[in-house]
């Protein structure tokens, strides 16, 4: 009975898992560098955790099930609501909270490049601070993560916007159907100019309004905003944010991008996205400030800002740039055996006090065993046969020169 | 709208996650010591993967859902079937395979001590070898894992049995209802003697048969089996296994335990369990040989042996024995600030090239900041105020003596 894996999911054989671990380790070490602590939430969450504030798109893609007691549960499609729930739930937590996590998330999406129905995400969140210093730290972590993968400012960009700012401008332009407009803006970079204009005309914008919007979305510098009417506080926020990003020495990766609005309903001011400069892939990471989510879930008010970076698009991007190093099995000693069992086991057991040791348990001939040792790039190779057992020694083989020397096992530990 | 977490699941706040990471790191490093490579399978698997061979108990506890295309999926209750599926699927894999994984698994169980509906498991599998050398290596890894948690032979036991052996003895005793008997045996250690005898009488065993069984289950040494009729091959297998366990220097943790049968239908010969010597908890780990599972799932025949160790019972056990070390946040530098923003950010950014640095972003006074630094056991504390900025230096504070010294940041990196 042949059983195929679930469509849209991925098996991680050792090679694939090594790449995943390479990514996870960089994620983890970057978070630790900034003093963040790891947390983990359940994969199964109550359905209501998402229906409230995660936005239509995500809610429509959820895996939902009913448990035996009739409760409706969802496989989490994202982590932020769980974080807000955990913070709401434990009122003794000392703020600010610097948390990171590498959760599996699930979305039933159309199968395509850059998408997997089960994927991992690097989530970094800073809760309990309303100051832009928090936003700057979070965006700096995003930038440092990309840098840690050896990516440069030519390869990726962090586009930054502020929802309060863009909201105020749109309102001052007297545009009413904001939700529709944001959905259109969100897809702007993926559609031809004419289609975007057509979309604007569909909601009956005047030519003046369309002209203003086009001007707005071409802005690359905060000071160019002067010809628009905007919320002063939001403007100050984003000004301060960019000034702090300079102090973090990550300004060269960042740019103002007023087309970034993000699909999640819970963002309240700063929003940002990491994308490849060539815009070949979907967003590599996205995040923003969510100042109301904790109290929506019954907690004391607690502002927060965070981002998520998925493994699937990131890996595609790193592969394209050839930035994934060669990763091989870390074997310190491979022990080849010739008609010997127990004695080789004893040697392996001794060496394992200090080293990673792979012991041959097969009946393969010595040549095949050595070929295998070569293929896994074992750092050292020992041979144990009857001769060695008699002399209570082992043969150390230099795989480069082929030279063999009979040594005592105690000289190795 | 207060939302509670799903019943039977657990939130891992930083403290809980640190313990989980402590456990995961020991699992991982032990597997690497034996030359095992990490793999990962999807959490969502086709339902049929379990209904065939995982045994009634597990199948009854599964979380099942239907995806939008009408496929029936299960949240994996265990990993072994996924491993067999992966091996069946890729016929180019070079055997033997030494694989480990730390998957989340899901079982809808009654809530009780030692059980969580979402749990982690350490899975270690060796595939492609039929020799008892493989079984010995797997059991040695089990023992070394427990040792790595500083557990001693007084605290845990690895009970070992062989299904072919026990099957042959039971058959030779002319007992017919083997399945019922095994279920009874499985619960033997958790019920009073009389209840066990009653159970045996329920399937109409004669007094002689009951006497024989009682004698059988009291056996602690393989050679005491002589008065029974058994399968010779199975006897040789278990003899050889114990002799190899001696070579691995783990014999003191192991004992023959003919009451261990395991609930999973796919085991074919060796079966074993790790339990606390006081038998206060459910099994800490369990495993066995499964020689038919890969071909059942459509692959070329490939024998396998492996075990799973759950995190929930293990953690209870380690807590009881006080074997979980104190784990604190690993901060190399905490930077306290007095009315300074950008300059402190610049110092933090520099130090992060080498160190884990937590930067104060709050408005707390300096005393509160230092109290916090103490509470997280920061290795070093720097203070940056206007004075330091003017002099382009930082104050290094020795938290034990209280001594402060003005130093240049370049002296630290």
Give the per-residue pLDDT at B55: 75
The residue ranking higher by pLDDT, A178 or A97, is A97
Give the per-residue pLDDT at B58: 84
| pLDDT tens digit sequence for A20-44 | 999 999 999 999 999 999 999 999 9
Give the per-residue pLDDT at B398: 87
Nearest-by-Cβ selection for B1 from A9, A133, A297? A297
**Phi and psi at residue A44, to the nearest 5°:** -90, 115
Give the per-residue pLDDT at B193: 85
Please list the helix, strand and coil fractions of chain B in percent, rounded to the nearest 5, in that order: 40, 20, 40
Q: Do A3 and B48 touch (CB under 8 A)?
A: yes
C-alpha A84, offset from chain centre: 19
Smallest CA–CA distance from B63 into chain A, residue: A67
Q: In whole angstroms, how far apart are CA A293 and each of B86, B158, B246, B361?
A: 41, 49, 58, 21
* B60 lies within 8 A of chain A by CB: no
Band the pLDDT of A17: cuts 50, 70, 90.
very high
* B113 lies within 8 A of chain A by CB: no
Q: What is the mean pLDDT of chain A?
A: 93
Q: In whole angstroms, how far apart are CA B140 and each of A122, A197, A248, B160?
A: 35, 68, 50, 12
Q: How is residue A21 written in tokens?
A: 């671990």
Contact A210, A204 (CB under 8 A): no
Band the pLDDT of A400: cuts 50, 70, 90.
confident
| pLDDT tens digit sequence for A246-304 | 999 999 999 999 999 887 778 999 999 999 999 999 999 999 999 999 999 999 999 99
The full DSSP string for B218-282 is T--SGGGGGGS---HHHHHHHHHHHHHHHHTT-GGGEEE-TT---S-TT--SEEEEEEETT--SS
Give the per-residue pLDDT at B159: 96
Contact A81, A49 (CB under 8 A): yes
Nearest alpha-carbon partner for B61 in A67, A351, A84, A140: A67
Residue A168 falls in which region: left (phi positive, over 0), alpha (psi -120 to 50) or beta = alpha
Distance CA A133, CA B345 (A): 9
Q: Do B13 and A71 touch (CB under 8 A)?
A: no
Nearest-by-Cβ selection for B44 from A6, A40, A137? A6
Cβ contacts of B182 within 8 Å, gap of 6 or more: B261
Low-confidence ranges of chain B (pLDDT < 70): none
Q: How is residue A82 written in tokens?
A: 């769980």
Give the per-residue pLDDT at A139: 98
Distance CA B191, CA B170 (A): 21
Q: In whole angstroms, how far apart are CA A43 and each of A77, A118, A337, B166, B310?
A: 9, 11, 45, 40, 17
Give the per-residue pLDDT at A59: 86
Give the per-residue pLDDT at B337: 97
* A327 lies within 8 A of chain B by CB: no
* B379 lies within 8 A of chain A by CB: no
Distance CA A18, CA B390 (A): 48
Closest-CA distance of chain B to residue A133, Å? 6
Q: How is residue B88 written in tokens?
A: 């069946």
Q: What is the mean pLDDT of residues A134-159?
A: 98
Instruction: Please determine, for residue A371, whether its predicted confidence score (pLDDT) is greater than 90.
Output: yes
Nearest-by-Cβ selection for B330 from A32, A117, A136? A32
| pLDDT tens digit sequence for B287-296 | 999 999 999 9
Give the per-residue pLDDT at A67: 86
> In a mutagenesis test of the B interface, which of A252, A361, A368 is the best target, namely the one with the most B β-carbons within 10 Å?
A361
* A200 lies within 8 A of chain B by CB: no
Spell out the domains of chain B, with CATH numbers in brackets: 14-320 (3.30.930.10), 333-412 (3.40.50.800)
Distance CA A253, CA A242 (A): 11
| pLDDT tens digit sequence for A340-357 | 999 999 999 999 999 999
Give the per-residue pLDDT at A52: 76
User: Taking a contact as any Cβ pair under 8 Å apart, which residues of chain A between 275 and 304 contact chain B?
Assistant: 296-298
ipTM score of complex: 0.94
Band the pLDDT of A109: cuts 50, 70, 90.
confident
Distance CA A53, CA A35 (A): 29
Q: Burial of A122 by CB count in 10 Å (0-12 exposed, 13-18 middle, 19+ buried)? A: buried
Q: Do B296 and A64 touch (CB under 8 A)?
A: no
* A247 lies within 8 A of chain B by CB: yes
Smallest CA–CA distance from A119 into chain B, residue: B42
Nearest alpha-carbon partner for A324 in A23, A98, A4: A23
DSSP H helical ranges for B53-177: 56-60, 80-89, 132-148, 163-172
* B20 lies within 8 A of chain A by CB: yes
* B45 lies within 8 A of chain A by CB: yes
Contact A144, A342 (CB under 8 A): no
Instruction: Please determine, for residue A197, whether its predicted confidence score (pLDDT) is greater than 80.
Output: yes
Give the per-residue pLDDT at A136: 98
Contact B302, B324 (CB under 8 A): no
Give the per-residue pLDDT at A33: 98
Element (H, E) at B342: helix B342-351
Nearest-by-Cβ selection for B33 from A4, A40, A352? A352
Element (H, E) at B124: strand B118-127
The full DSSP string for A313-354 is HHHHHHHHTT-PPP-----SEEEEESS-SHHHHHHHHHHTTT
């Amino acid at each position: 009975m042949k059983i195929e894996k679930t469509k849209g999911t991925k098996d991680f054989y050792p090679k694939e898992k090594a790449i995943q671990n390479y990514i996870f380790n960089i994620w983890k070490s970057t978070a630790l560098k900034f003093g963040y602590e790891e947390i983990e939430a359940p994969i199964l969450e109550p359905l209501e955790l998402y229906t409230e504030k995660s936005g239509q798109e995500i809610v429509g893609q959820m895996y939902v099930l009913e448990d035996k007691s009739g409760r409706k549960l969802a496989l989490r499609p994202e982590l932020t609501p769980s974080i807000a729930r955990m913070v709401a739930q434990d009122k003794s937590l000392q703020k600010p909270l610097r948390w990171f996590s590498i959760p599996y998330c699930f979305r039933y999406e159309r199968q395509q490049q850059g998408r997997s129905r089960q994927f991992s995400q690097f989530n970094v969140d800073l809760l309990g601070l309303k100051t832009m210093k928090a936003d700057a730290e979070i965006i700096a972590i995003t930038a440092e993560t990309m840098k840690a993968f050896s990516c440069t400012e030519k390869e990726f960009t962090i586009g930054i916007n502020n929802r309060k700012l863009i909201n105020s401008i749109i309102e001052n332009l007297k545009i009413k159907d904001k939700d529709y407009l944001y959905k259109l803006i969100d897809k702007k970079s993926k559609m031809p100019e004419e289609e975007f204009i057509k979309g604007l005309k569909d909601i009956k914008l005047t030519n003046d309004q369309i002209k203003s919007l086009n001007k707005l979305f071409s802005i690359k510098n905060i000071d160019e905003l002067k010809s628009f009417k905007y919320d002063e506080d939001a403007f100050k926020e984003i000004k301060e944010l960019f000034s702090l990003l300079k102090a973090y020495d990550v300004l060269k990766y960042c740019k103002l991008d007023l087309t970034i609005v993000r699909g999640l309903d819970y963002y309240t001011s700063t929003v940002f996205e990491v994308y490849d400069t060539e815009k070949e892939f979907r967003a590599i990471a996205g995040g923003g400030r969510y100042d109301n989510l904790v109290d929506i879930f019954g907690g004391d008010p607690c502002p927060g800002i965070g981002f998520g970076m998925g493994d699937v698009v990131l890996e595609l991007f790193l592969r394209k740039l050839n930035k994934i190093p060669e990763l091989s099995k870390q074997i310190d000693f491979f022990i080849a055996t010739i008609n010997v069992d127990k004695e080789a086991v004893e040697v392996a057991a001794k060496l394992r006090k200090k080293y990673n040791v792979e012991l041959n348990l097969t009946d393969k001939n010595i040549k095949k065993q050595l070929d295998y040792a070569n293929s896994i790039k074992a750092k050292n190779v020992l041979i144990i046969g009857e001769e060695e057992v008699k002399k209570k020694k082992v043969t150390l083989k230099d795989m480069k020169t082929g030279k063999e020397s009979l040594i005592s096992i105690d000289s190795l530990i």
